[in-house]
């Protein structure tokens, strides 16, 4: 296998990886995740109750 073919294959693999990474990045949680969390807290029950430093559940005030 000539070197040029090898480098072409490497380029293709790199492009595929980059595309996958881009897709992962796009599906990452948005920057306003904290705001969403606060909104969920306002509307009543959290999906996961907040915990203090000991890892115990905290009763909502």
Mean pLDDT by 10 residues, the chain (61 residues): 83 86 64 56 57 66 56
Half-sphere exposure of 10 (CA within 13 A, CB side): 7
- CA-to-CA distance for 40 and 43, rounded, in angstroms? 5
Predicted confidence at residue 37, as pLDDT, reads 55
Predicted confidence at residue 56, as pLDDT, reads 67
């Amino acid at each position: 296998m000539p070197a040029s073919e090898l480098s072409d294959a490497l380029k293709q693999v790199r492009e595929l990886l980059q595309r996958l990474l881009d897709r992962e990045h796009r599906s990452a949680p948005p920057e306003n995740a904290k705001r969403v969390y606060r909104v969920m807290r306002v509307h009543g029950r959290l999906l996961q109750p907040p915990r203090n430093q000991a890892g115990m559940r905290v009763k909502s005030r």
